[in-house]
Amino acid sequence: MKLFAATVAAAMAQGFKRSSEQIEESFVIVPEGYGGSFEGFNATQVVLENAEDDLFREFEDEFYAVDVDVMSRSQFTEEEKKMIRKFKLIKNMIVYLQQIKLFGKFCFYGCYCFAKGPRNLLVPGGNSAPMDGADSACKRHLQCNECSKMDFGETCSATDPYNFVAKQDDVTGIAWIQCIDEEGSCGRALCECDKALAYDLSDAEREWNILHHAKWGNFDLDMNCVRVGGGGSERGERFNEPSAPECCGQYPRRYPYRADDGYGNIKQCCVSDTGYGKSYNPMRLECCGSGSLKGIGSCDE
Residue from 194, 200, 212, 213 carrying the catalytic annotation:
194
In words, the CATH class of domain 17-224 is mainly alpha
Q: 262-290, pLDDT tens digit by residue?
A: 877 889 999 988 888 999 999 999 999 88
pLDDT of residue 170: 87
What is the dihedral angle through the alpha carbons of 195, 147, 221, 128, rounded to the nearest 10 degrees?
110
What residues contact residue 60 under an 8 Å CB cut-off, 6+ apart? Answer: 18, 23, 27
Is 194 a residue of the active site?
A: yes
pLDDT of residue 265: 85
Q: How far apart are CA 71 and CA 48, in angstroms?
A: 28
Residue from 53, 67, 141, 181 carrying the catalytic annotation:
141
Q: How far is CA 238 from CA 105, 209, 244, 261, in A?
A: 42, 40, 15, 9
Which pTM does this prediction carry?
A: 0.87
Q: How far apart are CA 230 and CA 171, in angstroms?
A: 52
Rg of the chain over all Cα atoms, to the nearest angstrom: 21
- The ranges of the chain with pLDDT < 70 are 1-17, 70, 228-239
Q: How far apart are CA 281 and CA 257, in angstroms?
A: 12
Tell me how many degrees the CA angle 196-55-26 measures, rounded to the nearest 5: 85
Would you kindly state where each structural domain of the chain is located, as residue ranges? 17-224, 239-295
Is 160 a residue of the active site?
A: no
pLDDT of residue 14: 41
pLDDT of residue 229: 55
Q: 247-266, pLDDT tens digit by residue?
A: 999 999 999 999 988 877 88
